[in-house]
Each structure stands twice: as C-alpha cells, then as structure tokens.
C-alpha cells in the first residue's frame, strides 16, 4: 500500500511540477510581454510628446512666418506706395514746370513776335505810308500837269512842236505813275506776305505747344496706366498670397486634426493595454495563488501519507507476494522510465503548445489594438 501511495504521490507530484513549470513559463512569457508593452507605452508616449512638441513648433513657426510675411508685404506695399506717390508728385511737378516753361516761352515768343512785328510793321507801314503819300502827291501833281497839258492842247491846236512835247511828257508821266502804282502794289503785297508769315509762325508755335501738351498728357496717361497695371498686379499678388496662406492654414488644420485623432487613438490604445495588463496581472496572481495553495495542500497530504506506517502480516504467501512484487517493481521501474521519457516529451510538447498559444493570443491582441 505504501508503494501504491508513493507512486500516486509521485504521479501527483510530477503532474503538479509539470503544471508549475508550465505556469512559471507562462508567467515568464507574460512578464516579458508586460515589459515589451511597457516599452511600447514609453515609446508611444515619447512619440506623442514629439508630435506635441513638433505641433507646437510648427504652429509657432507658421505664426512667425505669417507675421514676418505680412510685415514684409506691408513694408513693401508701403514703400511701393510711397515711391508711387513720390513719382506722381515729381511727374506732376515736372509736368507743371514744363507747361509753365512752354507757356512762358510761348508768351515770350508771341510778345517778341508781336513787338518785333509791330515795330517792323509800324516802321515799314510808316515808310510805306510816306512813300504812298509821296507817290499819291506826285500822281496828283502829274495828273494835274497832264490835265493842264491836255487843256492847253485843246486851246492851242496849231502848235505841232508843243503838242509833241506835251505828248511825250504825258507818256512819261503815265509810265511813271504806273511804276509808282506797281511799287505801291509790291509794297502792299510785301506787307501781306509779312503778315502771312507772322501768322504762320504763330500757328506753328501754337501747333508745337499743342503737340508738347498732348505728348505730356500721353506720357502721363501711359504712366498712370502703368501704375494702375502695377497696382492691379500687386492686388492679384496679395489675393494669391492670402489664398496660399488660407490653403496652408487649411492643410495645417487637417494635419493637426489627424495628429489629434492619432493622439486620441494612441491614448485609447494605451488605456486598453493598461487595462489588459492589469487584468492579466490579476489573473496570473490568482492562478499563482491557487497553484501555490494546491501545492501546499498536496505537500501536506504527501507528508501525512509518508508518515503513516502500515503493518503487513509475515506469512509465506506474503513472501511470495513480495517476490512477485519485486518482479513487478522491476517492470514498474521500466514502465516508470518509459513514463518519465513520455512525460518529458509531453512536457516539451506542452511548453511548445503554450508558447505557440501565447504568441497567437498576443498577436490577436496586438492586431485588435492596431499595433504592429
């Protein structure tokens, strides 16, 4: 009976030791997994911290870049506007100066032309008037003489020589009168030509002044058109800049939202991992406590059984039974050896199965949490 109890106790002890070994290995695997999860939590926390730091830095850099670009653009616009205003003022001053100079030149030219023309014309007209008066007086005297000669010819027809002389003198006087009239016409034509030339000079000066004014107006219109185009280009650049800033802000907002979603997701994963780790630790602690309690109970039972003494009757049958028992012990030893070998193989198989089950379980958990 003692050997039977011993074998049962050994079987129970072997089974208990096997379960304890498997439990210890499972505890080691879970401990390693716990350490790896803690390391992943630390890495994830560091990554989240880096994301937060990078987000803050990007936000500050973006804000500083926007302020810098806005201030730079405002400074450029103010400078360009000041230059434009200065250019317009200078152009207007130059335009007014040129117009005043042209007007002064024109007025001076007109004054000179008028004064010179009036002086020349007055002198020439005075000379012409004197010459005309002199010629008219001479013509009148000649006409009077001709009339006197004619009347004398009518009164005295008998004197042939006197008539001939008077005819020659009359012819000379008529010729002289015609010459004086031609001279008067020439002088009058000269006066008209001078007046026409003066009018042409005045008209040419007026045309030049109008051309200069139109040229200045055209230049001013071209400059204003150029400035308007430049202003329109600046406005388009400003609109494009604000549009690009808006698109950049939208892109940054999307990135921020995605980072925040990832952060929330990581926090949820960390919370789930902590809960699972806590549950696993509690479960393993319970299992260890239960197995320790069972082991203590079995050890106590084994101690009680080992301390018991069984009295056997000393008879021949008993000796025969003992011989048979010795043979059976040899057979039992062989079987126990085979059993130990099978147990060792079974132990290795169970360890491998436990390891594979643990890896599959952890892989499913990591897949459910979205971890690599």
Picking from 211, 213, 203, 216, the residue whose alpha carbon sits closest to that of residue 110 is: 203
Cα–Cα distance measured from residue 143 to residue 145, given in angstroms and rounded to the nearest whole number: 5
d(CA 174, CA 138): 11
The average pLDDT across 89-107 equals: 72
The tens digit of pLDDT for each residue in 135-175 reads 667 666 766 665 665 555 544 444 444 455 456 666 766 77
The rounded radius of gyration (Å) of the Cα atoms in the chain is 69
Q: Pick the most confident of 42-51, 102-111, 112-121, 164-173.
A: 42-51
The two tokens of residue 44 are 């994830």
> How far is Cα 94 from Cα 268, in angstroms, rounded to an integer?
75
Give 27-46 pLDDT, tens digit per residue. 777 778 777 777 877 887 77
pLDDT digits (tens, 9 = 90+) for 228-272: 887 788 788 778 877 877 887 787 778 778 777 877 776 777 677
Region 9-31: mean pLDDT is 75
% pLDDT > 90, the chain: 0
pLDDT single digits (tens) 327-341 = 767 776 777 777 677
pLDDT at 309 over 50: no
CA–CA distance, 270 with 237 (Å, rounded to integer): 48
Residue 14 above 80 pLDDT? no
d(CA 220, CA 90): 11
The confidence score (pLDDT) of residue 162 equals 47
pLDDT tens, residue by residue, 318-367:
677 677 767 767 776 777 777 677 767 777 777 777 777 777 777 776 66
Distance CA 49, CA 55 (A): 10
pLDDT at 157: 47
pLDDT at residue 277 in the model: 65
Would you put residue 313 in left (φ > 0), alpha (ψ -120 to 50) or beta?
A: beta
Is residue 288 a contact partner of residue 27, using CB atoms and an 8 Å limit?
A: yes
Query: Does position 315 have pLDDT exceeding 70, yes or no?
Result: no
Q: What is the 3-state secondary structure (H, E, C) of 75-109?
A: HHHHHHHHHHHHHHHHHHHHHHHHHHHHHHHHHHH
The whole-number average pLDDT for the span 186-198 is 77
- Our CA angle for 343, 346, 352, nearest 5°, is 145
Q: What is the pLDDT of residue 158?
A: 45
pLDDT greater than 50 at residue 55: yes
Q: What is the mean pLDDT of residues 211-234?
A: 80
**What pLDDT score does 7 carry?**
65
Which of 120-129, 173-182, 188-197 holds the top average pLDDT? 188-197
Give the model's pLDDT for residue 121.
56
- Hey, how many other C-beta atoms are within 10 angstroms of the C-beta on 142? 19
């Amino acid at each position: 009976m003692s050997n039977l109890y011993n074998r049962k106790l050994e079987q129970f002890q072997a089974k208990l030791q096997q379960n304890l070994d498997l439990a210890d290995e499972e505890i080691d695997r879970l401990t390693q997994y716990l350490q790896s999860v803690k390391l992943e939590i630390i890495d994830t926390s560091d990554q989240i911290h880096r994301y937060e730091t990078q987000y803050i830095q990007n936000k500050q850099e973006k804000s500083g870049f926007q302020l810098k670009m806005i201030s730079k653009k405002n400074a450029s616009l103010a400078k360009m506007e000041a230059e434009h205003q200065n250019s317009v003022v200078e152009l207007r001053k130059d335009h007014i100066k040129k117009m005043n100079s042209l007007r002064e030149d024109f007025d001076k030219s007109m004054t000179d032309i008028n004064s010179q023309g009036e002086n020349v014309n007055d002198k020439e007209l005075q000379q012409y008037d004197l010459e005309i008066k002199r010629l008219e007086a001479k013509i009148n005297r000649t006409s009077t003489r001709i009339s006197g000669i004619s009347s004398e010819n009518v009164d005295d027809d008998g004197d042939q020589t006197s008539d001939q002389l008077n005819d020659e003198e009359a012819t000379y006087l008529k010729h002289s009168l015609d010459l004086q009239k031609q001279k008067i016409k020439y002088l009058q034509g000269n006066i008209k030509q001078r007046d026409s030339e003066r009018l042409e000079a005045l008209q040419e000066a007026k045309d030049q002044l109008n051309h200069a004014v139109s040229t200045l107006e055209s230049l001013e219109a071209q400059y204003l058109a150029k400035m308007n185009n430049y202003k329109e280009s600046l406005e388009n650049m400003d609109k494009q800049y604000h549009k690009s800033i808006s698109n950049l802000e939208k892109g940054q907002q999307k990135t921020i939202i995605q980072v925040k979603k990832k952060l929330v997701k990581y926090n949820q994963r960390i919370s789930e991992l902590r809960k699972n780790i806590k549950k696993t630790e509690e479960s393993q602690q319970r299992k260890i406590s239960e197995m320790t309690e069972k082991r203590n109970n079995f050890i106590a039972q084994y101690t009680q059984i080992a301390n018991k003494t069984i009295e056997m009757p000393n008879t021949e049958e008993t000796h025969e039974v003992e011989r048979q028992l010795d043979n059976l012990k040899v057979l039992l030893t062989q079987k126990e050896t085979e059993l130990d070998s099978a147990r060792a193989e079974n132990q290795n198989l169970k360890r491998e199965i436990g390891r594979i089950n643990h890896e599959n379980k952890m892989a499913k958990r990591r897949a459910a949490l979205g971890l690599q």
